[in-house]
Amino acid sequence: MQEHHITVRRTARYHTLGPLDGSAAHLWIACHGYAQLAGRFMRHLVPLDDGTRLIVAPEALNRFYIESKPGRHGPDAKVGATWMTREDRLTEISDYVGYIDTLCDTLLAHVDRERVTITALGFSQGAATVARWAVHGRTAPDHLILWASPLPPEIDIGAGAEAIVRLRRVSIVVGARDDAAQQALPAELDRLARLGLQYVLHTFDGGHHLDADTLRALAK
């Protein structure tokens, strides 16, 4: 048995908040976490909407039913999406990096790149997504925000970390009551120091979720 790959056409969904007329001074690409959908995720980004920002939430290409019994995928069954799994992971990564590249090209088609700042925010699983896009994508963001998740393990010295180190601004965000993220934080900060990455650490009194006040502070 031999494994093969072909490239097929696929329709991707994304949600926007803010001006689409080219007047935005700031473009935010915000990637949701595991089992979320872009539309629901966007509700938590409303505090960023001040008329100067175009916030864009791409939706992962892989959707699935959540907590639904086999054969009972009715209208009440909740749906989520995931950016990837361990299965065929390199192909999945390549696909979503290309997807965000294409989305960014579309958004910048009528905007002067030199006039707009680009922020890439990733929450939970989405943090690995935006980090990989920052390393392998065509457009380097001005500000990378990793919320509730470390850098992907394969980003290391000589394997992509240089692209992250060169970014103008990197923010790490962890909720004070996000137990898993807090437990992983000391080792991650040691790793970032070894990589020579300059960053600002933000914490808030909450768990594994976005926080409105922290979002506003990051946007300043």
Name residue, tokens 């007329």.
21
Angle between helices 89-108 and 125-136 (to 10 degrees): 70
- In angstroms, the CA 137 to CA 94 distance is 9
* Residue 63: Cβ within 10 Å count: 14
Most confident by average pLDDT, 4-8, 21-25, 41-45, 187-191: 41-45
Q: What is the sign of the dihedral through the CA atoms of 178, 174, 81 and 78?
A: positive
Average pLDDT for residues 65-93, to the nearest whole number? 83
* pLDDT tens digits for range 113-139: 889 999 999 999 999 999 999 999 999
| Spatial CA neighbour of 214 closest among 186, 176, 187 | 176
Long-range contacts from 114-118, C-beta under 8 angstroms, 24+ separation = 115/25, 116/24, 116/25, 116/26, 116/27, 117/25, 117/26, 117/27, 117/142, 117/143, 118/26, 118/27, 118/28, 118/29, 118/142, 118/143
How many CB atoms neighbour CB 139 within 10 A? 17
For 151-172, write each residue's pLDDT tens digit.
998 888 666 788 888 898 999 9
Which residue is associated with the tokens 């690995």? Answer: 128
Closest C-alpha to 32, from 65, 63, 76, 3: 63
